[in-house]
Amino acid sequence: MATAAVPAPADETSAAVGRFIVGAAEPVLAEDGEGLFALRAGCYALEERDGFLILQAWDEKRTFARRVIGVESQSRGKMILHVERFGRHRGRVALVDAAAPSAARVHRRAARLQLRENLHRFLRRNYASLRVIELTSEAVLSASLSPNFPRAFLRSGTEGWAAIAAPDDPLVADEVLSFGLIWLDYLRRRERQCAVRGLILYLPVGQERTTCLRLRHLSPRAAEYSVWACAKDGPEFRLDPADWGNLDTKVEPCRGTAAPSRDVRGRAAPELRLEAQVRAGLRRLDPELLIEPVYTQVPAFAATSHGLMDLLAADVNGRLAVIELKASEDIHLPLQALDYWMRVGWHVERGDFSSAGYFPGLRLRNEPPRLLLVAPALMFHSTNETVLRYFSSEVPVERIGTGIEWQKGLEVFFRAHSPCR
């Protein structure tokens, strides 16, 4: 059982805190849910009052004041203080040298907790009829839930909602829908006495496009979705995914097909080796697929760094097939593949492939392309099927698992249609 902190003399605590701040190259103050305060000259104060040290900090928009009970611990670049808030609620704050190598973890944790508190305030403002039962930014390894995306569970009677927030980071914000669907499914399995209707998505302004485009191809029967965007330190507003119809995509004139002239030997990327095997054994994936022509990375669009190898083929009836290849586990495989599929479908509707010279001599059918997800059988992530369950039935998706020795030759180990079908 933890014991209460014993108050230390204010002068000793003040001297210790002062030495740390002066000795740090870039001192900051961190408290869970409050963000970081830079302890620059003129932006903080140490004051002895009634036998206690009062630590204050401020910036252009916020103020901070805590009674310091004592120093809990100190290490290079970090000091933990026992503090007391108004109302005698006790807690901890950290003084950190942001220039120290170890400070990166503190910055990440502070950002996550700040986002968690922002999510909480947003939910209380806009979903007052629901009670926030759970609010967390902790990882759940068994469910593959990331700490980068704070989550909440809201409930009113026998109905509930899942909620998730995306950080203001373009490198990871697009991942929020994958983790949101996993969180929704996790709550539906855990909360057996509650009907979890859908998912609330809290997104930073400027990072909402990909998520809204993807939502247009999820099944409205599988779940309801409520999407919000929030400017930094500004109001939030609700989004309608139906407004996001235009795609950032184009089809360049065909310059021939053929397999890429890349070396797939030695230390080359596993996806390149898997691509070579798929090209050589295309009929094993589906006997109706034409061996030639097969194109790579067509069409071009802004998310070409999504880490998948894309092949575009056609069957004997003129229907296109998008083939997504992945040689290792990837939580985001279904939705990243959906990005490419929706763009191919966009160009199919407009006849862009034929007019640009692709698949010469073949009359392409104006219907949604098939989506084939190809990976070694043991390398489909355990959550891929969960995410696919929320796809619209209009997305004809199929998972194809290859044998464990796929590098020696392509053999189909299993074939599974999407649960949404």
Q: Give the pLDDT confidence score for residue 272 in this predicted structure.
A: 87
pLDDT in tens, 117-134: 999 999 999 999 999 999
Domain ranges for the chain, please list them. Answer: 10-101, 110-243, 249-417
Q: For residues 319 and 197, what is the distance between their CA atoms, to the nearest angstrom? A: 36
What angle, 0 to 180 degrees and rounded to 10, lies between the N-to-C axes of helices 176-190 and 333-349? 120
Q: Which residues are paired to 203 by β-bridges?
A: 229
Angle of CA points 165, 379, 314, to nearest 5° = 95
Please answer whether residues 152 and 123 qualify as being in contact, where contact means their C-beta atoms are separated by less than 8 angstroms.
yes
Q: Where are the alpha helices (DSSP H) in 75-127?
A: 103-126
pLDDT score, position 264:
45
CA distance between the termini of the chain: 54
Q: Is 315 exposed, middle or buried (0-12, 13-18, 19+ CB in 10 A)?
A: middle
Tell me what pLDDT residue 142 has.
85
Left (φ > 0), alpha (ψ -120 to 50) or beta: where does 77 sit?
A: left
What is the CATH T-level fold of the domain 110-243, as seen in this structure?
Answer: Trna Endonuclease; Chain: A, domain 1 (3.40.1350)
Concatenating the DSSP letter of every residue in 343-402 gives HHHHHHHTTHHHHTT-STT----SSPPEEEEEEEGGGS-TTHHHHHTTB-TTS-EEEEEE
Q: How much is the pLDDT for 265?
A: 47
Question: Which residue, 288, 283, 293, is CA-closest to 255?
Answer: 293
Residue with tokens 């959906």: 338
Same fold, 110-243 and 249-417: yes
The span from the CA of 143 to the CA of 123, in Å, is 24
* Contact status, residue 139 vs residue 147, Cβ threshold 8 Å: yes
pLDDT in tens, 147-203: 899 999 999 999 999 999 999 988 899 999 999 999 999 999 999 999 999 999 999
Residues of the chain falling short of pLDDT 50: 1-4, 258-268, 304-305, 421
What pLDDT was estimated at residue 2?
40
Residue with tokens 């899942």: 162
pLDDT for the residue 249: 85
Contact indicator for 199, 163 with CB cutoff of 8 Å? yes
What is this structure's pTM? 0.79
User: Which CATH fold topology does 249-417 show?
Assistant: Trna Endonuclease; Chain: A, domain 1 (3.40.1350)
Identify the pLDDT of residue 405.
87
Q: Which residue has the tokens 């700490």?
A: 147
> For position 103, what pLDDT does the model report?
67
Question: How confident is the model at residue 7, as a pLDDT?
Answer: 66
